[in-house]
Structure 1
Amino acid sequence: MPAANLTRVEAERRASLVRVHDYDVELDLTTGPDTFASRTVVRFSASAGADAFVELNAEALRSAVLNGRPLEPSEVFDGSRIRLADLGDENELIVESTQCYTNTGEGLHRFVDPVDGAVYLYTEFAVAEANRVFAVFDQPDLKAAFRFTVTAPSGWQVLSNAPTPAPESLGESERWSFASGPVMSTYVAAIIAGPYRRWEGSATTTDGRTIPLGLFTRASFAEHAEPEVMFATVDAGIRFYEAAYGVPFPYEKYDQIFVPEYNWGAMENIGAVTFNESYLFRSRVSEARLQQRSIVILHELSHMWFGNLVTMKWWNDLWLNESFATWTSMAATAAVTPFTDAWATFTSVEKTDAAAQDQLPSTHPIVARIDDLEDVEVNFDGITYDKGASVIKQLVAWVGIDAFHAGVGAYLRAHANGNATLRDLLDELETSSGRELTEWSRLWLETAGVNTLRVRMETDAERVITAFVVEQSASVEQPTLRPHRVAIGFYDDGDDGIRRVHRVELDIDGAETAVPELVGPNRPDLVLLNDDDLTYAQIRLDDASLAVALDGLGDIRDPVARALIWGSVWDAVRDGEVAASQYVHLVLGNVARETESTARSTALAQLELAVERYLSPAHAELVAAEAGDALWALCELATASSDEQLQFVRSFARVARTGGQLDIVAGLCDGSVALDGLAVDTELRWELTIALSAGGRASVDDIAAVLAGDDTATGRLRAATAEAARPDAAIKEEAWDRVATDASLSNDLARAIASGWAMAHPVDLLAGSVEPYFAMLQSTWAQRSFSMAALIVKRLFPASLVTPETASAARAWLAGNETPAPLRRLVAEQLAELERALGAQSRDAQTPAESAA
């Protein structure tokens, strides 16, 4: 059932009337596989005589008693809210209800492990899903203390935000009575229950306190746990954040729980952080993936300060949580983990994702307009996380790191255990830095769009620079020009590679900024705007610099400079300024010399997208075949057992199309083809099998044989992807129908099937889905929870069918459907990416295909 859609007006009115003191929540998890019993006692003060409501998304409301007065469920309960009339100064509400487990990653999710039949439960309450488990004032500024009592089968672990008590035996079950936990917003409360395996550790704070640490996984996943890595990262992270902001770790314990079928990467529940168990590695992964795990661990840890200790008042300031956590986790990763190249990763991934999101028709200011919960759900995006973090990086350059740390620390201390707004943060930063930030905030945080920076340079016959100007532009739709703190680097090609020979740092503003200090030197081989990646902007290379980059990007020694150029050329491809076939040439000519794992994996992923959607149909088959051959050559040349060897093999499998290429994939799978140092382990075998299935070279029996060796929850998901990937129109139709209509599918299974369905070679296999896709959108949105509806809308859009007809169908649907706004946004975003692909194909058609070899 969809959740109730709380509006900002309703939330503000309720917050003006109600102050919540505490909750006593009792849950009985022994009542069966479909439902559980819930009892809530909530105590709160209110304006005498006022009316209010609590949220409850329940199978049945059994009873409700307000201040000793029974309420008639049929009169006060509408299926999602309980109406409360004639409140007193002090109030007590007692609610007993029957609640449903979910398989969608919302509320209280229930999972049965196919390996051993064990049941695992966990809660996910963001944005406002706590009401799927108990009656609650479900908004972030009505903080309260929670006391949970949970009855669960004997032998289970039960966790919450407070330290875990010893259970009381009830025979075949046990009762876990938690002490009252910290004051917190409802969306970071948590219950985790099941026969989880447990590891214990500790962290030491800068003031000498010992913080108990816990790590939990499914029993069948226990062999993949790495407690020493998890505990060491948290221990170092706590001290880093305490030292940076001068605020002690605010809670009594810190558990990390890796859970199945999770919609997010992780969630910052106070003291009980839940992680997607894909961060437990069953097989060898790239260094990029290891780094990403460290970043996520430190991101969630930082939320104990940013978001949990101090929480935004309403969801328009969500960025105060997520942008800060994204930026500061990068700083922590670079400082306290082996991944000292984290800022190069930030340039490669976060800034690229931010710019892509910022060019969609749904772009919005970092401080977004949020009128209701549906607005929030679709704003967990590249603006809120990645652009916000990029702008914070610019803010740090603007005010200085010491002033930034001091101001944020003062903000955390001033609003500890409460709620805050953007203005509260700006006040503290202005005090610490002495800089006025209201105008900076207006331009950077309260307007949308990404600026583009270019160089206009003049030289004389001797290559002496006679004029140097930085040009700034913006889109017609988002015309704001902003002040930027930037560096400009001059790079020359020498015996030891392409190195920086000169750098200036300056403020730029307006449409043009002259740089007189760069007049007089000789023109370098390459000019790099935004050197060291200080600001958030798209950059464009001048023609001469682009030519140097296309031929010699791998010779640039600085990883951040390389990341900037990778991103600049990719942006230009997406904007139709550089041909996709040129980008394929750039990647294949330089990726073997890229030393940073994340930059390498990002470039390969972008190459795969270019091959899939951006090449002109006139030569797409030829360039794709050449790309596959070149990737296999890189596989053979790569150092045995190296990170790049693994990345090249995976990319080759995804690109393989020709008969000869698929023969190699089959050979790798059956062992008749081998690369020195490459182990075809469980996950790689699945990747090869899925590639063979998409290429028409794996039967149902072949897939079943691989599954027989990996009959686990993850193995079953991989098999579902492989089965849906087979190039048969009937199979595609069946897969599409299951994802669109089968409400019994779990979130992960729906994702797995949709991933296989989207692998269509030829893409005409998806043509029959266009009409039913647009026909089902409204009913799907009305009937399914947000997470599942959004999954269906995004995953079943025929994005690979890059045709004017697909775009026309999307435009026609948008023209005929003015509401609901979040659904329109998702469809409009898909259309925008489709139109971008059509534009890229048109640009690519203007340039003869270069050999991808």
Structure 2
Amino acid sequence: MPASLTTTITRHQAQLRAAMLEVDTYRLHFDLTDDDVFTVHTVVNFSVSAAAIGHSTAIDLLGHEVVSAELNGQPVTYDGARLSLPDLHEDNELMVRSSAKYSTTGEGLHRYMDPFDEAVYLYSQCAPADARRIFPVFDQPDLKARYKIQVTAPAHWHVISNEPGECTIHDEVAHWSFAPSPVMSSYLFALIAGEYVQVGEDSWDTADASVALGLWSRRSLARYVDAEEIFDITKNGFAFYEDQFDQPYPYTKYDQIFVPEFNAGAMENIGAVTMLEDYIFRSPVPQATVQRRAITILHELAHMWFGNLVTMKWWDDLWLSESFAEFVSHIAAIDAGFTDAWTTFNATEKTWAYRQDQLATTHPVVADMVDLDAVAGNFDGITYAKGASVLRQLVALVGQDQFMKGIRQYFAEHAWGNAEFSDLLRHLENASGRDLSDWSRQWLHSTGVNTLSWQRQNGLTIMQTQPVQQHRVGIGCYDFTGNKLTRTHYVETDLNAEITTLDIPDTPLVLVNDADLTYAKLRADTTSVLTLTDHLGAIDDALARSLAWGSAWDQTRDANASASWFLELVLDHIASETDSSVVMMLMRQVAESLDRYIPTAHVPLYRQHFSSRLWQLVQQVPAGSDVQLQLIQTFIRHARTDDVTTVSALADKRGPEGFSVSTDMAWTALQRLVAMGEAGETEIDAAEIEDDTSTGYLAAIHARAMIPTPENKAATWELITSGEPTNLELRHLVMGFRDVHDVSLLLPYTAQYFDTVDDLWGASSFEMAETLAVGLFPMWEISEQTAQQTQDAASATIHTGLQRILTELHDDVHRALTARKAF
């Protein structure tokens, strides 16, 4: 059943239930032998406070067909979202038999059939509150309980849950029984079942324990999994976290399972982490993607302590769980050998945070999560990236040793329970000897990003925009050493006023916030800007270069500099960039510049100029290098008819000398030829036959949606809005639909979008609705009229999530219009 306002859970409701209830055990027996529906027999044992005896509450269950439901032997009613629980006793037993269709949206219990070999795979996704789509549950994080799970499944399947399991087989059916779990929150429940294969096994061994490590994928992708590398990173993380947290890994085992059609990067289910299949590399990928996988692995492992062992009481502290995991995973990544992890953080995470924090929908890091609708919209750049950024600044302020000392005290006091940010802040204050209330007020309870700008006249004058905040910053002075810009002087200081003056050496480049300790946009002095324009690629420190690139991008987005200037800066210096994550982010920013920030009449000329220069750079950089791979990927994205010969060669797997064109890149080139009108159904069919895999299946869906005829766009729109595609099919259909060279193909859908988006949202689950609302938005028609239509639609909708998305899209249109005026 699609989520709606009537099915939400409010914070107030959760607080009332938490005050009334103590949940002991969920006993769950799943039958997964039917292809269309799963059935579950649930027994919930819980007690209530003395004051609640005789009163009523409700337990959550979404979209099930309830066969029977009894509380303490008496039947109870079900309304499609919850079961009413009247006349509560001191000790209660709820018994429910129910069934539901499998999900195709990635929410609840998702079912997928591999089109390559027709193998079936299931997995659960319960965060933030989709366990209720699978079984009856008090679906809030502070009602922890033990889980006893049994599963009946086809005999040739493997079944994985939070704890180790054993099975017996009778005829064609396997009966699985899993060890009881420790107390845990419902959003961490895991049920993964199907024809998964174990692609690796290892163990984490200490003097006190041996933790089994498992790695799983679907059968058709097993040969591509880098088991040894993934286990190395995982074991590095175990060693690092156990040492830093002074707590052994708190659970029995640690499985990592790559699952199909996953909506997120990964999910920290206790003992059974699910991961995006994009992290299985069947073709060469940029090192940025390899590093992102490592950080994701370490992020989810950190959650086993921070989030799972000690859990937030309610989603107001979602930021704390995610920001902490994001922050500490970068420290762990450095420990594991990814020495430029903070450069990656600056280029990717902080760029995300700065964008989110300048939208009308920005919110404090500590957000007001009044209900699940608010929660769904706040898995964003504030919750993850800004929160991690300000934690990094806190560490710079108090010292990493003192920070970790406070964390260890926090775990020692709250293990296996629930806590709030105030509990953590108290321990950090005790460990550091500092009053952190003002820091918390400035950074966690405020919104927006202020700007640090500087001038040089009788020293260095640093100015910050209002509201003034305390910034711990590094200041680097860079001078030429041969053909490199090298840091020759560095000092750290606190900025506590609107204007701060310092004495520093007069060098060609001065960089405030060198080492990226604080959270702020940067505007350099005139001399430094001139130096960067001509010599940005000569800076010999990757993090400093990333800060310089970030400042250039901020100026472009803020219309302080034209998109043409930014594009030329990229073309002049990208070949010198050695950090893969910086290159990847710059290529995304190039796409945004060409798609949004250049006036429509100038786009064809600038796109052709850019793709031509880019192909020249492709042939100048080292053959087979990371930067060459990314430049070719970007060239294909922006190629037009003048480049048809080069793109056709790539589609035929013929690239520059020394570069091997993968099947995935050949698909991307073929898709571009389709958009050009140079290829069609015949070529797509032939490529799909040659690449008879699930990846090829999705690439073909994507390509067919790109066929540039009015009839095909109409048919694709109808399919997209039909509710039939799965979550991943929908994403590819939407991406293909909107990727056109002739914008007139999409102009009829501007009005259709605004006419239907509210109904589409109401008829879809959150994940599907978000894909439709964002992916089909008419960014192809950037105009004052589109901005007004967007604002009107945001004001008219009753859907909180849609209102937020439309408000943000309105901001994007307005920013694009402003940037075009500065062109």
Superposition TM-score tier, normalisation by shorter sequence? over 0.9
- 1:759 matched to 2:742: no
Say whether 1:772 aligns with 2:770: no
2-side partners of 1:25 and 1:472: how far apart? 57
Q: How is 1:760-839 mapped onto 2 (pairs within 5 angstroms)?
A: 760-817=740-797, 819-839=798-818
Partner of 2:178: 178
Within-5 A mapping of 1:362-381: 362-381=361-380
Aligned to 1:327: 327
**One-letter amino acid of the counterpart of residue 821, structure 1:** T
2:756 alignment partner AA = M
Q: 3-state DSSP class of the match of 1:169?
A: strand
| 1:356 counterpart residue number | 355
- Per-residue CA deviations over 1:713-760 (Å, capped at 9, x if unaligned) read 2211111111112222332232223222x2121000000000111212
Alignment of 1:273-288 (within 5 A): 273-288=273-288
Alpha-carbon deviation of 1:611? 1.5
**Counterpart Cα distance in 2 of 1:398 and 1:412:** 22
Residue 486 of structure 2 corresponds to 499
Deviation at 1:663, TM superposition (A): 1.7
The separation in 2 between residues aligned to 1:615 and 1:814, in whole angstroms, is 26
Is residue 2:553 matched to residue 1:576?
no
Whole-Å separation in 2 of the counterparts to 1:426 and 1:561: 31
Q: 2: distance between equivalents of 1:801 and 1:24?
A: 54
C-alpha distance in 1, partners of 2:334/2:710? 48
Give the superposition deviation at 1:206: 5.4
1:131 shift after superposition: 1.1
Alignment partner, residue 651 of structure 2: 669
1:446-485: CA deviation from partner (whole Å, max 9, x where unpaired)? 1111111001321xxxxxxx142211114xxxxx331110
Q: Return 624-633 or 637-646, whichever deviates more.
A: 637-646
- Does the Cα contact within 8 Å between 2:144 and 2:185 map onto a contact in 1? yes
Amino acid at match of 2:646: I
* CA displacement 1:484-526 (0-9 Å, x = unmatched): 10011111123141111111210112322222x33xx3x2111
Q: How does 1:303-702 map to 2 (within 5 A)?
A: 303-337=303-337, 339-458=338-457, 466-474=458-466, 480-515=467-502, 517-518=503-504, 521=505, 523-657=506-640, 659-670=641-652, 674-702=655-683
Aligned residue for 1:369, secondary structure, equals coil
Hey, what does 1:117 align to over in structure 2? 118
Change (3 A) 1:244 1:753: same
Matched residue SS, 2:586: helix
**Structure 1 stretch displaced more, 206-215 or 606-615:** 206-215
Q: Do the aligned partners of 2:794 and 2:804 also contact (CA within 8 Å) in 1?
A: no
Residue 9 of structure 1 and its aligned partner are, at CA, apart by: 0.7
Distance in 2, matches of 1:773 and 1:401, equals 50
SS at match of 2:150: strand
Distance 1:743 1:619 in 2: 38
SS of the equivalent of 1:498 reads strand
The DSSP-based 3-state class of the residue aligned with 1:530 is strand
Question: Corresponding residue for 2:270?
Answer: 270
Match of residue 728 from structure 1: 709
- Residue in structure 1 matched with residue 686 of structure 2 by the alignment: 705
Q: CA deviation at 1:65?
A: 1.3
Question: Structure 2: how far apart are the matches of 1:721 and 1:547?
Answer: 43
Partner of 1:850: none
Deviation, structure 1 residue 346: 0.6
Corresponding residue of 1:54: 59
Tell me how far 1:255 sits from its aligned partner. Answer: 0.2
- Could you list the per-position Cα deviations for residues 631-678 of structure 1 after superposition, in whole angstroms to 9, with x for gaps in the alignment? 100111121221111111111101112x3312211122225x531122
Higher mean Cα deviation, 361-370 or 538-547?
538-547
1:612 is displaced (CA, Å) by 1.8
- Superposition map of 1:113-152 within 5 A: 113-152=114-153
Q: Secondary structure at the match of 1:492?
A: strand
Residue 44 of structure 1 pairs with residue 46 of structure 2: yes
Structure 1 CA distance, aligned partners of 2:55 and 2:795? 43
Deviation at 1:626, TM superposition (A): 1.0
Shift of 1:199: 3.4
Q: Using a 3 Å threshold, how does the CA distance of structure 1 residues 33 and 201 change in structure 2: closer, same or farther?
A: closer
- Helix, strand or coil at the partner of 2:820: helix
Helix, strand or coil at the partner of 2:746: helix
Q: CA deviation at 1:560?
A: 0.4
1:206–1:242 CA contact under 8 A, matched in 2: no
> 2:334, 2:299 → 1: CA distance?
13
Q: Tell me which residue corresponds to 1:64.
A: 69
Distance 1:215 1:553 in 2: 42
Give 1:235 shift: 0.7
Write the deviation string for residues 753-784 of structure 1: whole angstroms up to 9, x where unpaired.
Answer: 00111212122322111111111122222221
Matched residue type, 1:116: D
CA contact (8 A) 2:455 2:524 kept: no
Is the 2:557–2:815 contact (alpha carbons within 8 Å) kept by the matching residues of 1? yes
Q: CA RMSD in A?
A: 1.3
Hey, what does 1:192 align to over in structure 2?
192
DSSP-derived class of the 2:514 partner: coil
**1:157 corresponds to:** 158
Residue range with higher mean Cα deviation, 596-605 or 528-537:
596-605
**Contact 1:56–1:136 under 8 Å retained in 2:** yes
Cα distance in 2, alignment partners of residues 503 and 637 from structure 1: 35
Once the two structures are TM-superposed, the CA of residue 569 in structure 1 deviates from its matched residue by: 0.5
Q: Tell me the SS of whatever aligns to 1:619.
A: helix
Distance in 2 of aligned mates of 1:84 and 1:655: 59
Normalization by structure 1: what TM-score? 0.94
- What's the CA shift for 1:200? 4.1
Determine if contact 2:344/2:582 at 8 Å carries over to the other structure: yes
Task: Return 5+ residue gaps in structure 1 as ranges.
Answer: 459-465, 475-479, 845-853
The letter for the 2-side match of 1:666 is S
Q: Secondary structure at the match of 1:37?
A: strand
Query: Mean Cα displacement is larger for which, 566-575 or 504-513?
Result: 504-513
Q: Say if 1:563 and 1:385 are closer, same or farther in 2 by CA, change over 3 A.
A: same
The SS at the match of 1:284 is coil
Instruction: Decide which of 710, 722, 727 is 1:747's aligned counterpart.
Output: 727
Determine the C-alpha separation between the residues in 1 that align with 2:53 and 2:483: 77
For the residue of structure 1 that corresponds to 2:19, the secondary structure is helix
Shift of the alpha carbon at 1:180?
0.6
1:34 shift after superposition = 1.6
Q: What corresponds to 1:463 in structure 2?
A: none
Match of 1:364, SS state, is coil
1:22 equivalent in structure 2: 25
Aligned to 1:298: 298
Change (3 A) 1:510 1:763: farther
C-alpha change, 1:203 and 1:236, in structure 2 (3 Å) is farther
Identify the residue that residue 851 of structure 1 maps to in structure 2.
Answer: none
| One-letter code aligned to 1:660 | D
- CA–CA distance in structure 2, aligned partners of residues 205 and 455 of structure 1: 52
Q: Which residue identity lines up with residue 835 of structure 1 in the other structure?
A: H
The amino acid that maps onto 2:585 is T
Give the partner amino acid of 1:406: K
Q: Which runs of 5+ in 2 are unaligned?
A: none
Deviations 1:6-33 (A, max 9, x none): 0011000111101101110000011x22
Partners of 2:639 and 2:672 within 8 A in 1: yes
TM superposition shift of 1:367? 0.6
After TM superposition, give the deviation of residue 616 of structure 1 in Å.
Answer: 2.7
Work out whether residues 794 and 802 of structure 2, in 8 Å CA contact, stay in contact via their aligned partners in 1. no
Q: CA deviation at 1:207?
A: 4.6
The amino acid of 2:814's aligned partner reads E
